[in-house]
Amino acid sequence: MHLYKERELYKVLIKAEKQLFTSPRIKLERTLLWRKENLTHIPAIYAIFENKNLIYIGETGDLLKRMSDITRTVNHSFRKQIGHRFFNGIKSSKKFEEEIEIKLDKYFDDTLYIQFIEVNFGRSEIETYLIDKFKAQLINSPKKRKQKYNYELINLLFND
């Protein structure tokens, strides 16, 4: 890749990262009313926090629908990952046993926050970059797309 093109790509990724992490942080709720008041049907990159700790990065073509999916075990890997990692739930394509579902609901209600930005084009690339950059603290499953990033150059550009 030409250096100029690489620099321009990294600038786009950095801009999206800065916009995401400076967007309003909203307490996530599992209700339809909350989704309708705080979200719309937009394509987006989103970050989920356990209180102040970043734990998940995702992308979607419809943020309102995705936040509905994320609260149901049968619909989204995020809730399955939480149930498995934090509450020793047995992974399956169905719900966890009732005791774990109750713990998951309480965990969602007590600790989760979301930040998001609208992104119409390049969501997958931004998501891949952010997952790679923050992989040590995320519960995301590894992505199949393996991209190599020049973090020395990214760090220089980040501080420009």
Pairing between β-strand 44-50 and β-strand 112-118 as defined by DSSP bridges: antiparallel
Each residue's pLDDT tens digit, 109-152: 999 999 999 999 989 999 999 999 999 999 987 766 677 877 78
Q: Does residue 22 fall inside a structural domain?
A: yes
Beta-strand ranges (E) seen in the chain are: 26-27, 44-50, 53-60, 112-118
Q: Does residue 160 fall inside a structural domain?
A: no
Q: Does residue 31 fall inside a structural domain?
A: yes
CA angle 32, 55, 68 (to 5 degrees): 15
DSSP annotation of 28 reads -
Closest CA to 114 of 33, 50, 71, 18: 50
C-alpha–C-alpha distance, residues 100 and 53, integer Å = 22
Each residue's pLDDT tens digit, 72-113: 888 888 998 899 888 887 766 688 888 999 999 999 999 999
Q: Does residue 84 fall inside a structural domain?
A: yes
DSSP annotation of 62 reads -
Q: Does residue 112 fall inside a structural domain?
A: yes
Q: 43: domain range?
A: 3-138
Residue recorded with tokens 């609260």: 71
Question: Helix (H, G, I), strand (E, B), or coil: what is residue 44?
Answer: strand
Q: Which amino acid, one-letter code, is at 151?
A: Y
Query: pTM for this structure?
Result: 0.89
Question: Count of domains in the chain?
Answer: 1
Q: Does residue 146 fall inside a structural domain?
A: no
Q: Does residue 147 fall inside a structural domain?
A: no
